[in-house]
């Protein structure tokens, strides 16, 4: 796991959801975080696009509902980071 990438993701999630970063770990999924509702999910995706300089499709937005899924997607798409 790319630790820098995980830290950036964790901070982005914390800011977007308005929660402590400590509540997020490498295995967190959407249904474990009450603040991660459907609106917060869209906000998270928009924030990730900016933080990682990428563009997601609707299908990807619908699929990336857990930290492992997001990290895998980042590994696949931003290999240089």
CB of 75 to another protein, least distance (A): 21
30-38: long-range contacts (C-beta < 8 A, 24 or more apart)?
A: 30/65, 30/66
One residue of 2, 5, 6, 15 binding another protein per CB under 8 A = 15
Nearer to another protein, 3 or 55 (CB): 55
Of residues 43, 41, 51, the one with CA closest to residue 77: 51
Taking CB under 8 A as the rule, does residue 43 contact another protein?
yes
For tokens 């300089």, the residue is: 53
One residue of 58, 76, 79, 80 binding another protein per CB under 8 A = 58
């Amino acid at each position: 796991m790319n630790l820098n990438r995980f830290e950036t993701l964790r901070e982005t999630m914390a800011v977007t959801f308005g929660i402590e970063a400590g509540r997020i770990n490498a295995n967190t999924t959407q249904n474990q975080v009450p603040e991660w509702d459907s609106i917060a999910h869209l906000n998270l995706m928009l924030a990730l696009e900016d933080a990682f300089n990428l563009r997601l499709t609707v299908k990807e937005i619908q699929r990336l509902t857990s930290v492992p899924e997001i990290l895998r997607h980042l590994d696949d798409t931003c290999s240089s980071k």
